Amino acid sequence: MQTIVLGSGSPLPDASRAGPSTLVRTEIGDLLFDCGRGVLMRAAAAGSSAGAIRGLFLTHLHSDHTTDLNDVVTSRWVTSFQPNPLPLFGPPGITRLLHATEAMLELDIGYRMAHHTDLQWRPSADVTECEGGLVLEAGSVRVTAAPTDHAPVRPTLGYRIDEGDASVVIAGDTVPCPGLDQLCAGADLLVHTVVRRDLIEPLGLARLTDVLDYHSSVEDAARTAARNDVGTLLLTHLVPAPQPGAEDEWVALAKEHFGGTVVVAQDLLTLEVSRWV
């Protein structure tokens, strides 16, 4: 199993970081978690595509995590030569989001169907709304969801992917919470969104400091990893984005609370996931 960071960025546009998105490559195919800006450009660089996605899993419906849903839907549709519904998983509300996306694309859908005589079906998706539990099982791969805490955004989900003895957790945006602990227990890799409280708090601007009460700090993520015996902690959705050469500061903050491996995400960073001892 491989974990590939497609986008390590945040709502703030960054020339070197696409929007939040993680690809987990498994024996059953590519599983995509969130679809922030630029996701398919990064997927192409990783050797994947909209048509190859075995499942798209949304952690929550903040725009920075769903911006390119329209691109995934459209690209999957126009590059498939037979109906190829998108398997879409996430919290209640994703059906409404999908329908709104399709309504936004209505003119485009009409244009393409009028022009391409072999394209006689509309884009489609197989939608599974959930608030926890087993959401996908195929071969040796299991994807489990649990509720997280990103209030006032509700509901929100984290996911755990198990393939054989290897396991990856996608935390999404959350503060420490029981649902995340449940997913993380003994995981090999925890992909966790983080903010730097020590850099944001002194700014004193409400629009910025407000993010602190519903995101985990680096220290929070490290304590979650330590509490649950995680092997590797991957810090992503970095706010504010580290300046080149400053990544060691983030690692040092996490290592104060966590004795395992700490990695700071960059777009297209690829980690092999195997059972750690």
Instruction: Note the pLDDT tens digit of each residue in 67-116.
Output: 999 999 999 999 999 999 999 999 999 999 999 999 999 999 999 999 99
Q: Enumerate residues 6+ apart whose C-beta is below 8 A from 1.
A: 24, 25, 26, 27, 161, 163, 166, 168, 272, 273, 274
Enter the CATH code of domain 2-272. 3.60.15.10
Q: Is the pTM of this model over 0.75?
A: yes
Instruction: Note the pLDDT tens digit of each residue in 44-81.
Output: 999 999 999 999 999 999 999 999 999 999 999 999 99
Instruction: Report the C-alpha gap between 188 and 227 in whole angstroms.
Output: 13
Instruction: Report the C-alpha gap between 254 and 166 in whole angstroms.
Output: 23
Per-domain residue ranges of the chain = 2-272
Instruction: Note the pLDDT tens digit of each residue in 116-171.
Output: 999 999 999 999 999 999 999 999 999 999 999 999 999 999 999 999 999 999 99
Of 30, 34, 64, 162, which residue is the catalytic one? 64
64 among known catalytic residues: yes
